[in-house]
Amino acid sequence: MTTAIICDDEPRLAEALQAQLQSAWPELQIVALGHSGGEALSLVAEHAPDIAFLDIRMPGLSGMEVARQLAGSPDAPHIVFVTAYDAHAMEAFDARAVDYLLKPVKAARLQEAVDRLRATVQARTPAAKPAASVATAVPQFNADMLLALQQLVPAQRKTLKWLNCGQGTEIDVIATSEVLFFQSRDKYTAVVTADKERYIRTPLKELMNELDPDEFWQVHRSSVIRVAAIERVLRDEMGRMQVKMRGSPEKIAVSGAFTGLFKQM
């Protein structure tokens, strides 16, 4: 039986990926979930999984640092990165034959990863570990690939912490940690907190490039939410998903492409 671990510092994302994998690959046994780089190393040592799904950005050790420590070990699992970095970097990841899942994980992309991983597992001999595989569908992670990843993705990306929001003749300075959600409103973007609503001219698309992707999710083409501010996830009578944020009566629609984030809720 093929085994795997999932490590993501957002428990909801780890659980959502587990649910998606159970659907896409019922035979795969998820032996453990972790939420930090150090925990990932411990779980690999304890369970010796065939596959490790690693978030790139985790507290303590990053996913890349975990992979670096595992590189060269005869018992190292196949590494599948789970990342929120942009599509241009993702194309380069593919070119380097390192598999990845882009947050939010889409079913079709997950199925591609599953098919490639299945082919790799089937190509193994019973006594062999991934390091023995050279020409398989998902090559074993190695130091050269790690170097390529480090060149593509900066270890720490500066993210927006404060917003200057005009209000008449005054400017309100709002910490992103206070924001419940952002929403496109005509030519402006609404910045909504628990006690006020302000507007900025920065489009959502540009704003997403400046926000921490682990803290903010785009759940609709017109809405971005702060994950820590989620109160609950709802479905209406038509089965459409909505998110209720703490401190706001508004229910935010979740488009179909992003519903996988909330499978375990």
204 lies in a domain?
Answer: yes
Cα dihedral across residues 138, 142, 144, 145: positive or negative? positive
- Residue 175 is assigned to a structural domain of this protein: yes
- What is the tens place of the pLDDT at every residue in 108-150? 889 988 998 888 777 754 544 444 333 333 444 445 555 555 5
**58 domain-assigned:** yes
Q: Which of 124, 152, 180 is the last residue of a domain?
A: 152
Question: Which among 113, 137, 111 is positioned nearest to 123, based on CA atoms?
Answer: 137
State the pTM of this model: 0.52
Say whether both 10 and 126 belong to one domain: yes
Backbone angles phi, psi at 229, to 5 degrees: -95, 5
Place of tokens 């994950």: 227
Looking at the structure, do residues 178 and 115 belong to the same domain, yes or no? no
Query: CATH code at 89?
Result: 3.40.50.2300
Quick one: residue 127, left, alpha or beta (phi over 0 = left, psi -120 to 50 = alpha)? alpha
What is the per-residue pLDDT for 121? Answer: 74
> Quick one: CA dihedral 44, 147, 105, 185, positive or negative?
positive
pLDDT of residue 24: 94
Asked if residue 91 belongs to a domain, the reply is yes
Backbone angles phi, psi at 157, to 5 degrees: -100, 130
Claim to verify: residue 168 and residue 147 sit in the same structural domain: no
pLDDT of 144-195, one tens digit each?
A: 555 555 555 554 556 889 999 977 788 899 999 999 999 999 889 999 999 9
Considering the domain architecture, whether residues 41 and 118 belong to the same structural domain is answered as yes
**Could you give the number of structural domains in the chain?**
2
- pLDDT, averaged across the chain: 81
| CATH number, position 179 | 2.40.50.1020
Q: Are 80 and 46 found together in one domain?
A: yes
Structural domain including 62 reads: 3-152
Distances (CA, A) of 84 to 15, 180, 212: 17, 20, 9
Decide which of 120, 152, 184 is a domain's last residue: 152
Residues 54 and 179 in one domain: no
Query: What are 3-32's pLDDT values in tens digits?
Result: 999 999 888 889 999 999 999 999 999 999
Regarding whether 219 and 146 lie in a shared domain, the answer is: no
**Is residue 179 located within the same domain as residue 140?**
no
Q: Is residue 157 part of a domain?
A: no
How is 166-187 classified by DSSP, letter by letter? Answer: EETTEEEEEEGGGEEEEEEETT
Residue 183 lies in a domain: yes
CA–CA gap between residue 25 and residue 28 (Å, rounded): 6
Res. 205: pLDDT tops 90: no
- Give the residue ranges of DSSP H helices in the chain: 11-24, 37-47, 63-70, 87-95, 107-123, 143-152, 204-208
Closest Cα to residue 70, out of 109, 33, 37?
Answer: 37
Report whether 91 contacts 98 (CB < 8 A): no
Q: Give me the pLDDT at residue 149, please.
A: 57
The last residue of one of the domains, among 152, 186, 209, is 152
